[in-house]
Amino acid sequence: MRKLQPAHGGFDNGAIEYGYYEDNINLEIALKMKDELEKSGAKVYLTRDGDYDMTKRNHHYSKQDDMYLRVKKIDSYKCDYLLSIHQNASGNRSAWGSQVFYYYRSKQGKALAFDIDQSLKQLTNSRKPISGCGFRVLRATKTLGVLIECGFLSNYNECGQLRSKNYQKKLCQKVKEGLIKYHLRIMTQKKKKTAKILQ
């Protein structure tokens, strides 16, 4: 099972660049990624499927409450993997490129991030390395996961790409390829361990 986490939503729009909201693009990509993963037979859940935050309040939005509920929902499904979808932004308008983050204490997270990053770079040509982090969505969950910054909304050209339905689909395909590569390697390792025990 896979868990997709389209970041932000509702009162929390995330980055806003050139009139486009990060939370909307995150959701568009997450919905396409859900379709891609389901084509491979995976069972996929979303933390949200519309423009709302986890508190679903009409007022008194709390980022802390939102993250608490988000983490709780992620772990409630007991999924194998978590993919947290984001778009980056910077005051430096020339900054560009995808980047994949993992919880800095997770060796499995680092390996998963590496495989997804290598696949994603075939499309994005990013030079950014994977990076260990302490982001709450990865730190507080029990689910193995990565946070994917698909690109920079603050970069005019990349913003155009990230809004493209065709480019979004290609992004999802590359993330899926990286995830499958990691998953198959882990399954092979587990089979080898089982075989040694049975000998």
For 8-12, 24-28, 194-198, which range has the lowest pLDDT when averaged over its residues? 194-198
Give, in degrees to the nearest 5, the angle at Cα 137 between 169 and 91: 70
Among residues of the chain, what percentage have pLDDT more than 90? 74
Task: Flag whether the pTM goes above 0.85.
Answer: yes
Distance CA 27, CA 121 (A): 21
Distance CA 88, CA 111 (A): 22
User: Which domains are delineated in the chain?
Assistant: 2-198 (3.40.630.40)
- Residues 98-135 have pLDDT tens digits of 999 999 999 999 999 999 999 999 999 999 999 999 99
As a whole number, the mean pLDDT across the chain is 91
